[in-house]
Amino acid sequence: MSRYVMAIDQGTTGSTVVILSESLEICGKASCEFPQIYPQAGWVEHDPEDVWNSVLTAMKGALEAAKLEGSAISAIGITNQRETSLFWDRATHKPIHNAIVWQCRRTADICTELKGEGLEPLYKEKTGLVLDPYFSGTKARWVLEQDESWMRRARAGELAFGTIDTYLVWRLSGGQAHVTDVSNASRTLMMDIHSLAWSDELLEPLGVPRAVLPEIRGNAEVYGHTVPTGPLPAGIPIAGMAGDQQAALFGQACFQVGEAKCTYGTGAFLLVNTGSEVVPSQQGLLTTVAWRLGDTTTYALEGSVFIAGAAVQWLRDELQIIDTSPEVEALAASVPDSGGVVFVPALAGLGAPHWRADARGMIWGLTRGSNRAHIARATLEGVAFMTHDVLQSMSDDLGRPLGTLKVDGGASMNGLLMQFQADLLQSQIVRPEMIETTALGAAFLAGLGAGIWSSTDDILGVWREDVHFDPNMNDVTRQQHLEHWYKAVAMA
């Protein structure tokens, strides 16, 4: 009898549920969007009930698409938008405030205050992160400062805190399990990534009581069981969890040191497996926990390109040189090269390794012969250049060249972009059959936690490549491209 795993991929703008068989056949899939809340400029919130209802709707739709009853599900895996977090009442299960989304910048002043107290080196050493509103700890402090009674109740243990993984397990289990996993905990500024435990030294400046925090667990184990929930019956094990980017790394079967993945979405998120070693970055990258299986912890380096698919959307919506995003590949391929045009996609500043918030996007090298095809090609190449820079930084931090780069996300379907990426990196690019690797990672972890697969070797046995891109650019041409790129970046 076939066993099925349900993967819940709870993202920033919606929730997707995928049901997979043991052989990784997608049996059913459904998505449901929910509203974004913008109380003021730079602030982003989610109504937790909207998030929860989107998960219920997507679960129902995926089961219907698979023509399965909820009782057919053998295990549930969860992956989530990582730093988004909230508080709720343990007794009533009701949130006390909207969830504060990872994108929200409202805690910038708190971060500045902590930096002014000289605390950034402490947080960087113990968490692998920087003091930035991106992460959950300052969001927790901000919420508790809004109402004196909330802090009293937090200290008394009447409130519970969590990232979205924690909240979903709480709801699915009817409040029986208040847990998180090491990958999500590593994004809070509150867990010491060396000991994998909440740290009083980190909690005190943030003013977050231990009493509100979930138990930190591994990534593939049974955290609890469902109560009757929407289309699901009682008793289904919730057996795998990971933050979205770590789940994608796992879903790409990057189990060896030096194996890396890049998820090309609105931005591009890159992680490289560093094994059991915590590698402090000298290049401005983040050090994070990838996953913990049993007693073995795997770490990663992470870097982000702020603008990837969003650059193509900009061509479509603002410049209006294409009508739909997929058109960009054919337009870019209509010319043999960019004609010397370089596009620096710094539409939201530059991240690692440049870290220049004041940088601005730039199209450089225009001539009378430049046309919209050259600009389209330069836009795709600009994304590849930024990705190259992050991966080069990862290689420098590791002290070794990286191997094959595994890719996923919508823009990974753009063959021209992937070929240019392979040429710049001088390494093979591999795209899997299933590019929903975030959900796949959650399913893998749940399957391991529930005993459907016994080891990562089983997963390697069912992970399948779709296509690969081998580098075919000569060194002289590649070096000329990089020289033009670095000259343009310096002026952005």
Domain boundaries, the chain: 4-245, 253-492
Query: What's domain 253-492's architecture?
Result: 2-Layer Sandwich (3.30)
For residue 270, the model assigns a pLDDT of 94
> What integer is the mean pLDDT of 165-180?
96
Arithmetic mean of pLDDT, 247-272: 91
| pLDDT value at 462 more than 80 | no
pTM: 0.89
Question: Is-same-fold flag (4-245; 253-492)?
Answer: yes
Name the band, by pLDDT with cuts 50, 70 and 90, for residue 223.
very high
What does pLDDT average to over the chain? 92
pLDDT at position 1, please?
60
Q: Quick one: three-class SS letters along the chain?
A: CCCEEEEEEECCCEEEEEEEECCCCEEEEEEEECCCECCCCCCCEECHHHHHHHHHHHHHHHHHHHCCCHHHEEEEEEEECCCCEEEEECCCCCECCCEECCCCCCCHHHHHHHHHCCCHHHHHHHHCCCCCCCCHHHHHHHHHCCCHHHHHHHHCCCEEEEEHHHHHHHHHCCCCCCEEEHHHHCCCCCEECCCCEECHHHHHHHCCCHHHCCEEECCEEEEEECCCECCECCCCEEEEEEEHHHHHHHHCCCCCCCCEEEEECCCEEEEEEEECCCCCCCCCCEEEEEEEECCEEEEEEEEEECCCHHHHHHHHHHHCCCCCCCHHHHHHHCCCCCCCCEEECCECEECCCCCECCCCCEEECCCCCCCHHHHHHHHHHHHHHHHHHHHHHHHHHHCCCCCCEEEECHHHHCHHHHHHHHHHHCCCEEEECCCCHHHHHHHHHHHHHCCCCCCHHHHHHHCCEEEEECCCCCHHHHHHHHHHHHHHHHHC
To the question of domain 4-245 being in CATH 3.30.420.40, the answer is yes
